[in-house]
Chain A
Amino acid sequence: SQQGEEDPQALSIQEGENATMNCSYKTSINNLQWYRQNSGRGLVHLILIRSNEREKHSGRLRVTLDTSKKSSSLLITASRAADTASYFCATEEGAQKLVFGQGTRLTINP
């Protein structure tokens, strides 16, 4: 069964707006990671947040983690057409197994 569940499944916004997507998970985690997948390509690692961290930034990306609610959010600020992709959260279970959610499909309209 999949650990992370992203919300919304699809998101369409105008270029320049901010995009927020959420991830909920079920069990305790060591860390939570976000990946991007462009159409027809492999996944690219964006950012990792550890279980003892609450917020992390990387360029236009901001990730928060609330372990009490078992949830995380990914914020992309000042969106660009190149941000159009699917975004996945992944959590690390025991024995170093990375489990992915179903993803949020983000479309940035010019």
Chain B
Amino acid sequence: NAGVTQTPKFQVLKTGQSMTLQCAQDMNHEYMSWYRQDPGMGLRLIHYSVGAGITDQGEVPNGYNVSRSTTEDFPLRLLSAAPSQTSVYFCASRRSGDTDTQYFGPGTRLTVL
């Protein structure tokens, strides 16, 4: 299994540009989520999904959209990038249930100029 994969690894955007961060998992996990991590900080939940066709907002959803058309993929869209969205973005997945390990992707480092 490849686990959780994310593309791209690095991205530089200009203010106002849009882009999609890709996330895929091959473990047939129902639950997927997106986090952002700012320097010296923990992870903050952006959006999450408990299954295909179901998404919900986390702690910091503004400026981001998600969709879950398949179990495997959970893309994160930045509609109009702002410097405040400069961060490292992590995708994670796990099986449903309250005792399951969450698996993280390697992250995407995004800089918005």
Binding site for B on A (CB under 8 A): 1-2, 4, 30-31, 33, 40-45, 48, 50, 88, 90, 92, 95-103
CB-based contact B43/A95 at 8 Å: no
CB-based contact A99/B104 at 8 Å: no
Other than the given A48-B99, A88-B42, 14 more pairs (CB < 8 A) read A2-B42, A30-B98, A31-B99, A33-B101, A42-B4, A42-B104, A42-B106, A44-B104, A97-B45, A97-B48, A98-B33, A99-B59, A102-B40, A102-B42
Q: Give the chain A neighbours of B75 by CB distance below 8 A.
A: none
Give min CB distance, A104 to chain B, whole Å: 10
Give min CB distance, B49 to chain A, whole Å: 10
Give min CB distance, B10 to chain A, whole Å: 11
For residue B61, CB closer than 8 A to chain A, the reply is no
Give min CB distance, A4 to chain B, whole Å: 8
* Cα(A97)–Cα(B45), bound, Å: 8
CB-based contact B42/A92 at 8 Å: no
* Interface band, chain B: 20 to 34
CB-based contact B45/A99 at 8 Å: yes
CB-based contact B102/A98 at 8 Å: yes
Give min CB distance, B102 to chain A, whole Å: 6
Q: Contact string, B16-43, partner A, CB cutoff 8 A, digits 1/0? A: 0000000000000001010100001111
CB-based contact A45/B102 at 8 Å: yes
* Cα(A44)–Cα(B4), bound, Å: 12
Question: What residue of chain B has the Cβ atom nearest to residue A42's Cβ?
Answer: B104
Q: A41-B106, A42-B107 are in contact. Are A98 and B45 (CB under 8 A)?
A: yes
